[in-house]
Amino acid sequence: MKTAQFPSVDFALINHPYSGPMIRIFLCLGVALTLGSSLSALSVDEAVKQAEAHNLGLATEDLKVAQKADEKNFSFNRLYPTLSTSATLLRLNANSNQTVNAILGAVAQRSNQPYSPSDYTENQHWVLGTNLTLQFLWNPAVFRGIAQTMVDYENAALNRGAAGAKLDRDVRKTFYQLLALHEATGVFESQLKVAEDRYRLAKLNFDAGLGSEISALQAQVSFENRKPLLADQKVTEDNAQAGFRLLLNLPDGSPLDLQGTLDVASDLRKTLSSLDVEAMVKRYLDGRWDVGAAQGTAKSLRNLAQLQADSLWPSFILGYSADPGVQAPLDSATWNDSNAKNRWLQTSGALSLTVAWKLDSFLPGSTTGVEITGRQRQAEQAQLGVEQTRRAGENEIRSLVGKLKKSAVSLESLALALSLAQRSAKLTEAGYQAGTQSFNDAQDADQQLQMARLQYLNEELALQSNLADLDYALAADRKEWLHG
């Protein structure tokens, strides 16, 4: 999952005499995320689908879930016996005939009896040994381990759901940030066009002897100062688009045509301004992704602590082993003789039932005992973490609802301020053209209009971003928590 990165900004621009307030607002809008997009023309919902289908981080989570699903579905294989087999070809330094001859020859020599040693060959030095071992082990820890696979799968599935919801949130926020950046670019372009027209008019007046050189120079300075601001804005927008392509796993440079708007309907603003935060906290707090993850971690640690404690119980082992071997396997007579089966020997094969109990773990201060205590404490810490996560989640929900209410109310005032700024700029420009308003008056009106535009745009973006954040914070569909 990619994380948001903010664009580098030349903070010296803030000190520009005509751009201080505008740049401060622009910084709020110029969030260049390293996230991405796919199709040349797409709505916000289409962008989400594109990301879900092609995002590499989400594909990684899918693989993790598939792995845990296999472990859960085949957890019964822990009850399988251990089965092993082997075959060994040995060359004895002395075969059995040599040993017998040595013993009988020594006895015959002491008793002065004649003795004729039996013949033996090189093949009798060789022995083919085989082994087969089958073992069943039963212990409460085995069944606790089977239960752990279910816990691990549930946690992996929860993480996958959280990753998908986070991706949805990031795509929506970045989509609207791109819309805001594009509109902000339009604001800078329109202001540059106004400054250019004003400069051309001032220069014509000066050349015709109808205006002062100071007015022409002031207009030119204003025009030239706005060029780098627009260039910086375009670079920021391009970087944000590149990040959006990365989020959606699209080729670099793919054309983007975002189909959407930042406008928030008046009925939605009215609904947001009357949200019941207490009811929302009570209904959705325990269903949050982070709360679920914390609960899953606590459950896993409790189970692991119990698993280690279960390992202290006796283990019952049912085993069977067979180790048939044959002497002189390289001699064809060994295999052709009808009595060859009598050459196969069983030296230690057996059926066994064993009860194994690790008693040293019950000694005070034993390594196992300390580990079990440590696991139990980790589980207790994780449970405390659940409560901490719930409190942080409640605070986040309350904060987001408060921000949404504030934006819903502020947009009404900002819309009025924008309308007034537009009319003021229009009247001031007309007065400047007629010579009844000064250049500074026109500059002030332009600055107020640009500030009003960017402030309104910034508040719309804040509302859309907080809506996406609240969707994720509640882990619920917007229609459900908005009208439920």
Quote the Cα angle for 237-243-192, to 5°: 5
pLDDT score recorded for residue 116? 57
Query: What residues have CB less than 8 Å from 174, skipping those under 6 apart?
Result: 33, 35, 240, 243, 244, 247
Contact, 328 vs 334, CB < 8 A? yes
Beta strands 344-346 and 324-327, pairing class: antiparallel
pTM for the model stands at: 0.74
Q: Residue 444: give its domain's CATH number.
A: 1.20.1600.10
341 within some domain: no
115 within some domain: no
Please state the separation of Cα 380 from the chain's center in Å: 26
**Cα end-to-end distance, the chain, whole Å:** 31
306 within some domain: yes
355 within some domain: no
Q: Which amino acid is at 444?
A: D
Contact, 36 vs 42, CB < 8 A? no
Cα torsion 15, 20, 23, 24: sign? positive
Cα torsion 362, 366, 372, 373: sign? positive
pLDDT score recorded for residue 121? 63
Contact, 306 vs 344, CB < 8 A? no
Cα torsion 461, 464, 468, 469: sign? positive
Cα-flanking dihedrals φ and ψ of residue 28, to 5°?
-70, -30
DSSP per residue over 198-231, as a string? HHHHHHHHHHTTSS-HHHHHHHHHHHHHHHHHHH
Q: Which amino acid is at 18?
A: Y
116 within some domain: no
pLDDT tens string, the chain, 484 residues long: the values are 333 333 333 333 333 333 433 333 333 333 333 333 334 578 999 999 989 998 888 999 999 999 999 999 999 988 888 999 999 888 877 655 555 555 555 555 656 666 555 555 667 777 788 888 999 988 898 999 999 999 999 999 999 999 999 999 999 999 999 999 999 998 888 888 888 888 888 888 888 887 788 888 888 898 899 899 999 999 999 999 998 988 888 888 888 888 988 888 888 888 998 899 999 999 999 999 999 999 999 999 999 999 888 888 898 999 988 888 877 777 777 777 666 555 566 667 888 898 988 887 778 888 888 888 898 999 999 999 999 999 999 999 999 999 999 999 999 999 999 999 999 989 988 887 887 888 788 888 888 888 899 999 999 999 999 999 999 999 999 888 888 6
84 within some domain: yes
b/e per residue 281-298 (b: at least 16 CB within 10 A): beebbeebbbbbbbbbbb
What CA–CA distance (Å, rounded) separates 444 from 186? 19
289 within some domain: yes
Q: How many structural domains are present in the chain? A: 1
pLDDT score recorded for residue 147? 93
Tokens 């392509």, residue located: 245
- Residue 40 sits in which domain range? 11-95+140-314+361-483
pLDDT score recorded for residue 358? 83
121 within some domain: no
